[in-house]
Amino acid sequence: MHKNFDNLNDAFLSLLQDVFENGQAVSARGSEQKELLFCNFTIENPDDLNITSAARKFSIDYATSEWLWYLSANPKVNNIGKLAKIWQMIRDENGEAESNYGCYLKPQWNWVIEELVSDRDTRRATIVINQPHHKGKNKADYPCTHYLHFFIRDNKLHLGVNMRSNDIIFGLCNDVFTFSLFQQLMLNELNSRGENVELGTYNHHAGSLHLYERHYAMANKIILEEKTQPSETYKLSKSVTGWLDASKLAMPVRDLSKEEIKEHTKKVKMEIYS
């Protein structure tokens, strides 16, 4: 069943309740989950990206830091791993993760731009992330995202994201935040080329949308919370027009302290959000 939502917060709260109450119990990779298969939804305003739940403790600063790490197209987790231990847990023997999405987006980015500029009705504007070589590379990090698909229709830039697997508590929120910013970055670059298009919808497909057993108590708290849904947009400044421009703001490759990473993110936030 396809669902439409105004913003990320609405999507998160509704889908979490659906998974918690209606998800089928499964056991994968040594833990129990509740799961919905082949879940599809649309977000009408993909710049309204805050999560309001006190129990979820969504951090715009962390979400922005993760996006800046993707912009670096650097698979090393030495810096991002200081902010979230999951990256240290899934790194390989070289200290690298397969799921720095920028490593796949950056080489294909300009091709997609040219495709959209040359043919507004194209169906070819895709960026592939999950690759055949991942099946035998790092067993701890098999990328969750299959591909991104851009369309210009009715003078609006729409984005579709197809994922094999999505953890609803942490993965969904950060993934939608990340890919919505890339949608806005694509929009800015197209408009810098004279295309004059508007921001369209964000569309998400998850083969498995699931809730881990360790998060059941948190999910219950979120569902029982008083629902407050203030609008809080995170719109990229029009001055951030392309990957080369944005990459100047990316998380540095050199090793930083946790405090230096946070300071870098704080500074960049003031520059990129209008």
Q: What is the pLDDT along the chain (274 residues), one digit of tens a residue?
A: 799 999 999 999 999 999 999 999 999 877 899 999 999 999 999 999 999 999 999 999 999 999 999 999 999 999 999 999 999 999 999 999 999 999 999 999 999 999 999 999 999 999 999 999 999 889 889 999 999 999 999 999 999 999 999 999 999 999 999 999 999 999 999 999 999 999 999 999 999 999 999 999 999 999 999 776 677 899 999 999 988 888 889 999 999 999 999 999 999 999 999 7
The string over 128-140, giving b where at least 16 C-beta atoms fall within 10 Å of a residue's C-beta and e elsewhere, is ebbeeeeeeebee
Q: Are strands 198-212 and 156-163 parallel, antiparallel or unpaired?
A: parallel
Q: Which residue has the tokens 């057993």?
A: 213
Provide Rg for the chain, Cα atoms: 18
Task: Measure CA 31 to chain center.
Answer: 24
Domain map of the chain by residue range? Answer: 2-272
CATH superfamily ID and name for 2-272: Thymidylate synthase/dCMP hydroxymethylase domain (3.30.572.10)
Its pTM stands at 0.96
DSSP letter string, 54-113: TTTT--HHHHHHHHHHHHHT--B-TTGGGT-THHHHH--TTSB-TT-THHHHHHHHHHHH
